[in-house]
Amino acid sequence: MYSINIKGKVTSKDKKLVKLEMIFFQTGYNRVSKVLNITGPIKDWDNASQSFISKSSDAIKKNKMLLDLKLKYQKIAEEWEEEGRKWSPAELALSLDKKKGKEMKEEDRSLSVSQMIDYLIKKFSEKEKEKNGKIVKSLASVKDYKIIKRALEEFTQKKYNKPLSVFYFSDITKQFLLDFVLYTQKKGIANGNKAGLNQKLRKLRAIVNYAKGLNMHGADPEIFGCVEDKMKWHKFEPRTVSKRVIQLIENVDRSLLTPKEEFCLDLFLFSYYTGGMANVDVCHLTYNMIQGNQVIYERMKFPKIGKPLLIEKSKLIIEKYEGQGIDNYVFPVFTKKHTTEAKMRNRVIQISNRVSKTLTKVCNILDIKENITWYSARGTFISRMVDAGCSPAVTAEQAGNSVAVIFKHYYKFTEGETLLTKMNSVF
């Protein structure tokens, strides 16, 4: 059984206007909503009839648009049902989306670098994808493009005394790249860091690559060969901690923590017990992702499936917060005021910062010298599983990574003293 309905509610920015959403439902799946680019006076909207009740020509026109849109989705759903296809509400919500790659007009083939970045920001701001039965947008990509744009604007103004808006892809030469590298390195030295040089170069190359795909004049990704060594990832040092440290954290005197801090500690431990689940994935965990003694979910940041088993410790944490989360969420991270994806994203950042502060406090209480963050959970889980003799393939599957990645980025041997004792007994 499925349904397609239109619901209206007051907009947050203007209490006199209605915000319309198409609600897609199918038995066995979470409801999926999609905001419509149609609005009007809230006093004229009727949820029962799913239409504007005003007799004005504008209202009649909008009602026709809404009905036409609903019928288009209805037709697709009926075709899928006839085919016997297994589909989800999220798939139906995305079924009418246009291919963005065809939006670029022929006369726009000579955009400036600044205009191209703005085009990509707009493209990814509107791009929707399905994750764990929900429609999400590519906000992380939008943020990355905004960062590189600000960096390039500052560079061209200070280095060449010209705004980024006058630079075209034919101006992105080897000398331009070398100048950008030196400028960014100097800035990093002044700030005591690397200034994100390799990430910025990689993002700029991605922009040039995209521009080449759209036949932008002068776009040549090959010129990045002159800075190839600057784009290499630095040797990664896992933030893995030992079994002893984790045991100390598990047994910390919780009377020294506030209820909010105890909640943050539980989120970290749950993450550790479930394959080192990322902060955003823990916060967005819903009950439909739990299947028996296992969680099966698609990672928010990467197109990878994680399949961690639920040990008794993780089950106890779930039971502890049962019924406290809104909607179908396992943990009480979000509230009714987190109504947009942007607000939910900011909430995850806020909770992550609280977890870091809580871990710092716990480490101070226990006199632990390591700098432990939420990110430490993944490497610690992986290292402990591998050291316990578990298959790397099984470990990687639970973490939502490949075997190569877990050894390259996460595994770290932390039981040096134990190994020395074993070796002395052997030899």
Q: Could you give the 3-state DSSP secondary structure of residue 134?
A: strand
Amino acid identity, position 31 = R
Q: Return the number of other C-beta atoms located less than 10 Å from residue 270's C-beta.
A: 24
Q: Where are the beta strands (DSSP E) in 269-391?
A: 290-291, 294-295, 297-298, 305-306
Hey, which bits of 245-295 come out as E strands?
Answer: 290-291, 294-295
If pLDDT is split at 50, 70 and 90, which confidence band does 101 have?
A: very low
Q: Is 138 exposed, middle or buried (0-12, 13-18, 19+ CB in 10 A)?
A: middle
Q: Per-residue pLDDT for 121 more than 80?
A: yes
Give domain limits for the chain: 2-96, 113-231, 243-426
User: Which CATH class, in words, describes the domain spanning 243-426?
Assistant: mainly alpha
Q: What is the pLDDT of residues 411-426, one digit of tens each?
A: 887 766 677 777 777 7
Compute the distance between CA of residue 281 and CA of residue 301 in angstroms, rounded to an integer: 9
CB–CB of 226/398 below 8 Å?
no
Contact between residue 265 and residue 257 where contact means Cβ atoms under 8 Å apart: yes
pLDDT score recorded for residue 29 = 74
- C-alpha to C-alpha distance for 9 and 339, rounded to whole angstroms: 12
Give the pLDDT of residue 426: 73
pLDDT grade for 235, boundaries at 50, 70 and 90: low
CA nearest to 92, candidates 37, 1, 23: 23
Nearest to 363 by CA among 238, 241, 263, 271: 241
The confidence score (pLDDT) of residue 246 equals 92
**Mean pLDDT for the chain overall:** 87
Closest CA to 8 of 45, 41, 62, 56: 45
Average pLDDT, stretch 298-318?
A: 91
Digit-coded pLDDT (tens) for 24-65: 988 877 788 888 888 889 999 999 999 999 888 888 989 999
The larger pLDDT score, comparing residue 27 to residue 23, is at: 23
pLDDT, position 236: 66
Q: Stretch 365-380: mean pLDDT, rounded?
A: 91
What is the Cα–Cα distance from 160 to 165, expressed in whole angstroms?
12
Is pLDDT of 85 > 80? no
- Report the pLDDT value the prediction gives residue 89, as an integer from 0 to 100: 83
Task: Report the pLDDT value the prediction gives residue 108, as an integer from 0 to 100.
Answer: 52
Assess whether pLDDT exceeds 90 at residue 189.
yes
Burial class (CB in 10 A: 0-12, 13-18, 19+), 14: exposed
